[in-house]
Chain A
């Protein structure tokens, strides 16, 4: 299957500073790829390059096989920017009719789209009276016009409440099921967990990791933390035997590689009389994300 979006060794500099550095990515039809990164990691710049607004310093971008920004590429791609404000005095229906006209799709589609994002009741009200969530949903509806082959969603759910966020991802999943390739950006792994097929982590313009969440967790190889509460007076002995970090008078944190977990617990079992409680904390999504986004070229060796 050919990729709808193929980015190869993309570099982009602003005034001598590399904003994107050797980024390679591809998205297949029906696939959802989440692009994670901090503010300023280069996510929006990447989107603007795919749209043809910015020219790469080197490397290539192909949208459905065409140069970004070319007429054929713009036919294939639909975009929802991070910050979007529609003309306040137009109704939601008028906004969608406008974009539908620019894309040359039948006007009959507009009502269907409004229904898909749950805005049919508010369709004829002025956008200025919409809540933030409604404006964002209108933005999504706009991005779904004409069955897009590639959907670019720049932080589509930032500032949405959990319920709207969930509904948002349902609409995105529906679009992917209809064959759209989806590239969306986000701040955190928790948000895109189970909502996307693959995850790419971008930090300071470099792609740090790419794969499914399970692959990322495995690659990160982060230790599980075993948190021990000792009985009074026993903490020092346990610290002497197992090492680890003393948290306070009676608590001790032990880091443990994935494979050694059972073994360590068995050893701890022998000191049952000195233990009050054991808590097992596997690495969380935040830890995985932090691991990759912090991993610089120098930290690699550690």
Chain B
């Protein structure tokens, strides 16, 4: 079993490297992080917060857009593309179990996303450390950001692979991936803001709304990072992070649930693909 998953894993990781996905993702994330760090360094002294913490907050907000996009782009084609090319028929004809193929691909692409995040954010974190004074809290916030960003990437790799297995066609998988990105990353927040404006103060705002926020993996990620930083200058939905009815770690549990669900659905669906 482990050999077969390892074989799929190795093959996928090699692909991600040869297709320059890792390098591209590292470059994009690194450049954005560096830009935010320089911007933060410019105003850090006024806010009495160290540059690392400040950059972690703004990077958390930006990562919500970028990391799901990178993860979806890396994964949406992975199964449907192989169905269309006919190479999945060859793989499925071997003794490998269908779920092993799904899990192997998931692990490889997650590692690819995480390596990009670690290199990009790690490098920028070190640069900030050289240029400005940093606090222990700042370092912690930065580490939390890197780890949870990896988790966010893993979830959207899972979602992308799941969509790829569900649709079985690259064109449809691409459409579904764009749709999911828009829905979870953009529209969901807008809808929630509209709902809270309409409902005003009350049961909805205090008891339903927070749960709706962490039900979305992108929001859960951002909420977790902001809630763990006391001094974070936040607004909008993120203001919720200071008045949570549950500990911030609950947001991590929500991320975990998403991860389990996408892998379970994706693996089950992969069993029913006719290559």
Contacts and interface: CB of A to CB of B under 8 A. Distances in A.
Mutual binders A and B:
yes
A102 B92 CA distance: 10
Interface string A70-100: 0100110111010111110110001000110
Contacts of B48: none
A91 to B, nearest CB: 10
A9 interface: no
A169 to B, nearest CB: 21
Given A85-B86, A101-B4, 14 more contacts: A51-B92, A53-B92, A71-B95, A77-B93, A78-B93, A79-B93, A85-B87, A87-B15, A89-B19, A90-B14, A98-B11, A99-B94, A101-B10, A103-B94
Indicate the size class of the contact surface on chain A.
20 to 34
B7 A75 contact: no
Interface of B: 3-4, 6-8, 10-11, 14-15, 18-19, 85-87, 89-97, 274-275
A104 interface: yes
A101 B7 contact: yes
A86 B4 CA distance: 18
A92 B89 CA distance: 18
Contacts of B4: 101-102, 104
A115 interface: no
Interface of A: 48, 51, 53-54, 71, 74-75, 77-79, 81, 83-87, 89-90, 94, 98-99, 101-104, 142
B90 A142 contact: yes
11 contacts: A51-B92, A53-B92, A74-B93, A86-B87, A94-B11, A94-B14, A98-B7, A101-B6, A101-B10, A102-B94, A104-B3
Contacts of A104: 3-4, 95
A94 B4 CA distance: 15
B93 A84 contact: no
A142 B274 CA distance: 21
Given A74-B95, A89-B19, A90-B14, A101 B3 contact: yes
B255 to A, nearest CB: 31
Nearest to A89: B18
Contact of B89 (A81, A89, A99, A102): A81
A75 B93 contact: no
A191 to B, nearest CB: 22
Nearest to A86: B87
B100 to A, nearest CB: 9
A174 B95 CA distance: 24
A90 B15 CA distance: 8
Contact of B96 (A79, A87, A94, A102): A102
Contacts of A84: 86-87, 90
B6 A99 contact: no
Contacts of A78: 93
Given A53-B274, A86-B87, A94-B14, A102 B8 contact: yes
Scoring B4, B89, B274 by chain A CB atoms within 10 A of each residue's CB, the highest score goes to B89
Contacts of A90: 11, 14-15, 18
B95 A79 contact: no
Contacts of B87: 84-87
Contact of A99 (B3, B90, B97, B275): B90
Contacts of B96: 102
B78 to A, nearest CB: 11
Given A74-B95, A101-B7, A103-B94, A81 B86 contact: yes
